[in-house]
């Protein structure tokens, strides 16, 4: 198949493009900020926000059978790309969405039929992703698949999550944990997400909407304990008890339960991803080769660390 991956040169997109290029002809489109790492992948330099230019560009080449959209974070991105493809819409469209689309107050675990107005805790990201989903669904494309992962992790992760926490463990600095550390979250290994995309592309999973990730959830405390075990560095946890200071000013996750029902995807027979320990061991091995990042505390961390020192 001829496949277009929109945004295929960073962490998630790069992994998906590389997986699909094993059996298909894959083109990656971005604005030229980075070239594809896989030499089997063609590189299209274009801005998805300029549909007129995209129509000119796509008119001169063979039509795409399928689009995998990794980089759409607001409705304008989807409108721009669909506008560029309007002369020859693909047969199928896979949108990498997010668990952030689910509405606040919905019953846990969140299932694909839960309301999707987006949770304001994500600062507009969830609402925008939900709007992207609706645009793709109503685009007239015959086969639409929406994938909603929770926190994606793995080697080459460009989001400061596990590596952010490991940086503090490696130098023995405190990790300030929201409230009592009992918020529950889930994870999705980037290779598992890519394998689900491949299953949809190859017809092993029918088009539809799927939560994608590990079935097991972890409290903040349990997750941090696992990071410590994997790295061999102790975790010095300080529970803040805070409900007013935004968690993202001192912690790499939002203070909310994010637990999804993964049973719909399990029913397709697609192989589950690695358990979290195995995935983190692989990620730690990559990070030790790449270099654990330096400890760079936030202003809130500095303030609270000084308070701890003053109280000794």
What residue spans define the domains of the chain? 2-148, 162-185+215-257+275-310
Mean pLDDT (the chain, rounded): 95
CATH architecture of residue range(s) 2-148: 3-Layer(aba) Sandwich (3.40)
- Confidence tier at 34 by pLDDT (50, 70, 90): confident
Instruction: Quick: pLDDT tens for 208-248.
Output: 999 999 999 999 999 999 999 999 999 999 999 988 999 99
CB 221 within 8 A of CB 182: yes
Q: What pLDDT sits at residue 148?
A: 98
Residue of 195, 15, 209, 8 lying closest to 93 (CA atoms): 209
Our CA angle for 247, 263, 182, nearest 5°, is 25
Q: What pLDDT sits at residue 8?
A: 77
Q: What pLDDT sits at residue 228?
A: 98
Instruction: Output the six-digit token pair for 230.
Output: 């994997």
- Confidence tier at 251 by pLDDT (50, 70, 90): very high
Structural fold of domain 162-185+215-257+275-310: UDP-galactose 4-epimerase; domain 1 (3.90.25)
Q: 37 pLDDT exceeds 80?
A: no
Q: What pLDDT sits at residue 50?
A: 94
| % of the chain exceeding 70 in pLDDT | 100
Instruction: Output the six-digit token pair for 87.
Output: 């002369």
Q: What pLDDT sits at residue 193?
A: 97
Q: 35 pLDDT exceeds 80?
A: no
Length of the chain in residues, anyone?
312
Instruction: Quick: pLDDT tens for 44-102.
Output: 999 999 999 999 999 988 899 999 999 999 999 999 999 999 999 999 999 999 999 99
Torsion from C-alpha of 116, 121, 125, 130, nearest 10 degrees: 0
Instruction: Quick: pLDDT tens for 98-155.
Output: 999 999 999 999 999 999 999 999 999 999 999 999 999 999 999 999 999 999 999 9
- Confidence tier at 32 by pLDDT (50, 70, 90): confident
Instruction: Output the six-digit token pair for 207.
Output: 């088009």
Q: What pLDDT sits at residue 30?
A: 92
Q: What pLDDT sits at residue 141?
A: 97
Instruction: Say how far apart CA 77 and CA 94 lie, in whole Å.
Output: 14
- Confidence tier at 257 by pLDDT (50, 70, 90): very high
């Amino acid at each position: 198949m001829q496949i277009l991956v929109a945004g295929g040169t960073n962490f998630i997109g790069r992994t998906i493009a590389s997986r699909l290029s094993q059996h298909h002809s894959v083109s990656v489109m971005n604005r030229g900020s980075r070239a594809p790492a896989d030499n089997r992948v063609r590189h299209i330099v274009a801005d998805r926000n300029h549909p007129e230019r995209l129509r000119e560009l796509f008119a001169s080449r063979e039509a795409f059978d399928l689009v995998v959209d990794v980089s759409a974070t607001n409705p304008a991105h989807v409108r721009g790309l669909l506008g560029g493809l309007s002369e020859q819409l693909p047969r199928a469209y896979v949108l990498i969405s997010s668990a952030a689309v689910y509405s606040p107050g919905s019953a846990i675990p969140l299932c694909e039929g839960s309301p999707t107005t987006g949770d304001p805790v994500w600062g507009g990201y969830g609402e925008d992703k939900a709007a992207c989903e609706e645009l793709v669904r109503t685009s007239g494309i015959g086969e639409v698949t929406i994938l909603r992962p929770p926190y994606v992790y793995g080697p080459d992760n460009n989001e400061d999550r596990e590596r952010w926490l490991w940086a503090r463990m490696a130098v023995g600095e405190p990790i300030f944990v929201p409230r009592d550390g009992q918020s529950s979250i889930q994870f999705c290994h980037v290779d598992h997400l890519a394998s689900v995309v491949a299953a949809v592309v190859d017809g092993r999973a029918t088009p539809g909407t799927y939560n994608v990730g590990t079935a097991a959830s972890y409290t903040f405390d349990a997750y941090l304990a696992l990071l410590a075990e994997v790295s061999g560095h102790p975790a010095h946890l300080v529970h803040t008890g805070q409900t007013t200071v935004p968690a993202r000013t001192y912690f790499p996750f939002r203070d909310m339960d994010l637990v999804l029902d993964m049973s719909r995807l399990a029913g397709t027979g697609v192989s589950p991803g690695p358990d979290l320990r195995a995935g983190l061991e692989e990620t730690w091995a990559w990070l030790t080769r790449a270099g654990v990042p330096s400890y760079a505390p936030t202003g809130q961390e500095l303030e609270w660390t000084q308070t701890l020192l003053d109280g000794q």
